[in-house]
Chain A
């Protein structure tokens, strides 16, 4: 039952008619994650600077954390709602 392992890399699963779309969407999501990482870092630095000049270890308050979470979810929604393909204002199909 224990045959030799296949050394070749397995091709990733595909879900679209054109597998290039699978790969490009992966790149878009990777870039989106990087954008959010930068945005969150920038926001936290702004909080720290506002508080005490250069205090880089300032921890946001619970209220500020909640605001950041709302901002993150809004960022995610604005990004991913494009994939739902629904009209925001009714028009011709």
Chain B
């Protein structure tokens, strides 16, 4: 059962193991890679394919990859994993999710068809994905607390992104695409009381949780709707700020491009689009190899296609200007630790719809 002493002890152990994988195992693998690289023929072209060739059959690589895959599996699916533990509390969770809400706070679409690309794999190794089960949003919320092991004691990620965005733009009407259970939307509606905030997502179980959380916070300036980011059915030019957090890497490139076009259409002239996502540093073939492998091992198959699609060029072709792709520091000192600890290659992707 969620919250039982056994469940808590088990999940703390898994997190502790993830931290060991993040630190000592990552460093051991880096060290092995550097050694192999020093022995490699000079004519081997650089890139993640070279890293794969250098590390093929290396025990450090096999162990690292196994741990990445299976610690996440244990988190969700072991005896005391998130899914079975939440199952025992299903009735209470469903009752909380279906509690009455203020009018207009949540709009679900009973006829909404979740796209095939989102149904084809169980994202994050969450059995059934985050869309198919009534309580999947609650499971995902609990799981997201340890997605980034180094952040488990520092939950400032969303606040830091909000700080960055608000330093660029104080919105009047904000759209948060792929808002999930609302953790990215909340800092905006709490800190921009004068703005109208709309969160959209394709996963109804997550939207229900987002709406209940907003109701509990007595927020009056936010609404949530079940819509696809690439086909929102919202009016042209209806926002001055469009954001997303960890959404783009969950879409195949044609849907990413469709989403960027939709954001362009939805922005008023001069409006800003800004996404927080993952793009590996091109100059570091080792981290790029790790990142591409993470996509496969963690059931997030579009991480590599997103990194390879040249998103900056696509944005410029659509018409965005002031296109920027910059590293993002998810916690104090994170960028300085990338040599010694595994972390996601956080990046901020932004562009402005020209004023005329």
A interface, CB within 8 angstroms of B: 1-2, 13, 15-17, 22, 25-26, 29-30, 32-34, 36-37, 40-41, 44, 69, 72-73, 75-77, 79-81, 83-86
Given contacts A41-B9, A73-B16, contact A83 B78 (CB under 8 A): no
With a cutoff of 8 Å between Cβ atoms, the chain B residues found around residue A16 in the complex are 62, 66
With a cutoff of 8 Å between Cβ atoms, the chain B residues found around residue A69 in the complex are 12
Which of A32, A73, A81, A86 is within 8 Å of B19, CB to CB?
Answer: A73
With a cutoff of 8 Å between Cβ atoms, the chain A residues found around residue B80 in the complex are 33, 37
Distance in Å from the Cβ of B52 to the closest Cβ of chain A? 13
B10 near A44: Cβ-Cβ < 8 Å: no
Given contacts A29-B70, A37-B80, contact A76 B25 (CB under 8 A): no
B interface, CB within 8 angstroms of A: 5-6, 9-10, 12-14, 16-17, 19-21, 24-25, 28, 57, 59-60, 62-63, 65-67, 69-71, 74, 78-80, 116, 296-297
Which of B67, B69, B71 is within 8 Å of A13, CB to CB?
Answer: B69
Given contacts A84-B25, A86-B28, contact A33 B10 (CB under 8 A): yes
Given contacts A13-B69, A29-B74, A33-B74, contact A40 B24 (CB under 8 A): no
A72 near B5: Cβ-Cβ < 8 Å: no
With a cutoff of 8 Å between Cβ atoms, the chain A residues found around residue B296 in the complex are 13
Give the distance in Å from the alpha carbon of A33 to the alpha carbon of B18 in the complex.
12
Give the distance in Å from the alpha carbon of A26 to the alpha carbon of B73 in the complex.
10
B16 near A44: Cβ-Cβ < 8 Å: no
Given contacts A15-B62, A40-B12, contact A80 B17 (CB under 8 A): yes
Give the distance in Å from the alpha carbon of A81 to the alpha carbon of B19 in the complex.
13
Distance in Å from the Cβ of B98 to the closest Cβ of chain A? 29
**Could you give 25 example pairs across A and B, Cβ below 8 Å?**
A1-B116, A2-B116, A13-B69, A15-B62, A16-B62, A16-B66, A17-B57, A29-B17, A29-B71, A33-B13, A33-B74, A37-B13, A37-B80, A40-B5, A40-B13, A69-B12, A73-B16, A73-B19, A80-B17, A80-B20, A80-B21, A80-B67, A84-B25, A85-B59, A86-B28
The 9 closest A-B pairs by CB, nearest first: A40-B9, A36-B13, A76-B16, A15-B66, A37-B9, A15-B62, A15-B65, A83-B63, A80-B20
Which of A13, A44, A72 is within 8 Å of B297, CB to CB?
Answer: A13
Q: Determine the residue in chain A with the shortest Cβ distance to B21.
A: A80
